A and B are shown apart, each in its own frame.
Chain A
Amino acid sequence: MNDLASLIPYFNTRHPALARYIVLALILAAPLLAISVGPAWVRILDFALLYVMLAIGLNLVVGFAGLLDMGYIAFYAVGAYTWAFLASPHFGLHLPFWIVLPAGAAFAALAGVILGFPVLRLRGDYLAIVTLGFGEIVRIFMNNLNHPINITNGPQGINMLDSLVIFGFDVSKRIRIGEDFSIHPLLVYYYVFLCFVVLSVLLVQRLQVSRIGRAWAAIRDDDLAAKAVGINLRNLKLMAFAMGATFGGVAGGLFGAFQGFVSPESFSLMESITVLAMVVFGGMGNIAGVIVGALVLSWLPEALRSYAIPMQSALFGKVLLDPEILRMLVHAMALILMMMLRPAGLIPAHSRYSRPELLGVKAAESDVKSGGAA
């Protein structure tokens, strides 16, 4: 929260408390502002929050532990498919939220460990390619496990997933208060997702400065040295994979419930790269940075879509760049330009838990500035 507040340029230095309230107010009021423009924008916000969760989870693996995971979306898929298996007419199961979501998280964590074991010895770019392969394998299975026994229903995916029901309260239904006042379900989803995001942020923040988080930072900065001071590389790397995957699994479950439909198409390599772009853009290892990265990169293409498409048809008489291409373009440019111009990301991580070599010369001075940063 403090980090987000520090983004507001003027108030941050003069009135830090006020800046914090502004951020808080913005977060709470965002969907209300958005719905005045149109429900589609609330939907975008809801998805943005899911991406925030994904980015937080991937950041745990990439930013904290320095393990470049390019198959991260597989865990999202595991979460979503768990929801689809346990809470849809597909197998006729309709288990409650309190079972399904933890189950999704657990399966995702298990998948994380399964991925983690073989790649323990790999570093850097090899790790990236193998995890990418893992993501593809999961997708191939999702696409093909409709034969000989129909498990995933193949490329068609599974639909009519149960919606989110918490304490007997169905999030996807309009809430009616009195005669003519009702709350749009998309708004309710926003606040539900927001709760999950806040929980994740709190969890990850504590995790980062805990013994485990510090060990991850040590592994990331130099795994040989980390090993030399007695850090158990195997357990900690597995833990990073499993914990990162858990966030993916929870986000996946929420995605399934929100969307009401899952298919392998939602979990392509492109999605993994999208989440990676968010983490890199925002600043690897910095929670606030990653949140901002996810919000900006999920909002920007949509904003471009609503302005660039009419503009193109006005200028050229036809749509040259369709929305999907715009999205890819934004993410590709985010990756390339960030690495060239600002490799530590939009909001670089605090030096104490970050990689000094990314910050370059600035490392020394920011070290002084942010003494007890967290």
Chain B
Amino acid sequence: METLLQQIINGLVVGSMYALVALGYTMVYGILGLINFAHGDVLMVGALIALQAISFAQHTWPNLGALPTLAFGMAVSIPAAMLVGYVMERAAYRRLRNAPRLAPLITAIGVSFLLQTAAMIIWGRNYYSFPQLISTTPLQLIDGVFITPVQIVIVISSGLLMLALTLLVNKTRIGRAMRATAENHRIAALMGVNANGIIALTFVIGSALAAVAGVMIASNYGIAHSTMGTIPGLKAFTAAVLGGIGNLAGAMLGGIVLGLVESIGAGYIEQFSFGFFNSSYQDIFAFVILGAVLIFRPTGLLGERVADRA
């Protein structure tokens, strides 16, 4: 029982990080029908820039305290990631908006690679230990079930961010413009919506969320490196598909469900396969779920769009 509860908590933590990244995929897909393959790498860029800013802050103002240092790191890395997102859209994807359907995807793969290469040039291929500014000492909830303060912060702040995004999309003028653009960006433009601006904004918001998620992932595991974005990116994409791609609530739900399945699965796989599989097969769950969803329910849990519309 404790194991199950523990895995559920781990799943919620991981899931809320997936959900944040999945939102970026789903927003871009909703508007452009493009899988922004490089989204996971924006996460990596965010984490590494935050790392750089934090170590700068620690050197310059050693007495700043943990939370302001972290805030400074975020304050640098979020705008930087937003800039990356904007440049990506402006320089690469905008020109290909009317190209045949494989072209933007192949470009996205190229952009993803380019970001990784750029990160390797700047930061090398080393694994950096990420300063864990929020305590990682486990707190005991009940007997044998632990949660760390950083995990609590992750769950709460991603919940708040998701709430904020939902409000932005559903209650504001910008949100209405976004929904209109997602419906049909040409017609939205005819109605006076600055469609290009909205599309760029979508990339920027998605990248900001990715940067936050990047800092969360790096703080949670205490590691940052130049290829750390690939696997979370793929899993977040799975989460987006699982929830129904193009659907914000779906991405959040998908992220949480995927996180839960993954950690519960990893916790029990050894037991159920009689020791043949162990938790190093954890990454397989996401891909198997992705395949299964696309085959049996391509619209996802909450989706409206048809998968092969792409």
Question: Which residues on A are within 8 Å of B, measured CB to CB?
Answer: 66, 68, 70, 118-119, 121-126, 128-130, 132-134, 136-137, 140, 143-144, 147-148, 269, 273, 276-277, 280, 320-321, 324-325, 328-329, 331-336, 339-340, 343, 355, 357-358
Docked Cα-Cα span, A202 to B307, in Å, equals 37
Q: Does B103 contact A (CB under 8 A)?
A: yes
Question: Which residues on B are within 8 Å of A, measured CB to CB?
Answer: 34-35, 92, 95-96, 99-107, 109-111, 113-114, 116-117, 120-121, 125, 230, 234, 237-238, 241, 275-278, 280-281, 283-284, 286-288, 290-291, 294-295, 298, 307-308, 310
Q: Is the CB of A339 within 8 A of B107?
A: yes
A321 to chain B: closest residue by CB: B121
Q: Is the CB of A130 within 8 A of B281?
A: no
Q: Is the CB of A123 within 8 A of B99?
A: no
A156 to chain B, nearest CB (A): 15
- A128 contacts across to B, CB distance below 8 A: 35, 105
Please report whether the interface of chain A is mostly helix, strand, loop or mixed according to DSSP: helix
Contact partner, A335, options B101, B113, B281, B290, Cβ 8 Å: B113
Docked Cα-Cα span, A316 to B79, in Å, equals 31
Docked Cα-Cα span, A328 to B125, in Å, equals 13
- B278 contacts across to A, CB distance below 8 A: 144, 147
Q: Is the CB of B114 within 8 A of A329?
A: yes
Q: Is the CB of A118 within 8 A of B283?
A: no
Q: Is the CB of B110 within 8 A of A332?
A: yes
Q: Is the CB of B102 within 8 A of A132?
A: no
Q: Is the CB of A123 within 8 A of B281?
A: no
Q: Is the CB of B280 within 8 A of A143?
A: yes
Q: Which of B101, B104, B291 gathers the greatest number of chain A CB atoms within 10 Å?
A: B291
Docked Cα-Cα span, A343 to B307, in Å, equals 25
With A124-B105, A148-B276: A140-B283 Cβ-Cβ less than 8 Å: yes
- A124 contacts across to B, CB distance below 8 A: 101-102, 105, 308, 310
With A121-B308, A123-B310, A130-B294: A339-B234 Cβ-Cβ less than 8 Å: no
Q: A148-B276, A343-B99 are in contact. List 9 more A-B contacts (CB 8 A).
A: A68-B102, A68-B105, A121-B294, A125-B35, A134-B287, A137-B284, A144-B277, A329-B114, A358-B100
Q: Is the CB of B105 within 8 A of A125?
A: yes
Q: Is the CB of B308 within 8 A of A336?
A: no
- B106 contacts across to A, CB distance below 8 A: 68, 276, 280, 335, 339
B112 to chain A: closest residue by CB: A332
A284 to chain B: closest residue by CB: B102
- B277 contacts across to A, CB distance below 8 A: 144
Q: Is the CB of B284 within 8 A of A140?
A: yes
Docked Cα-Cα span, A133 to B310, in Å, equals 18
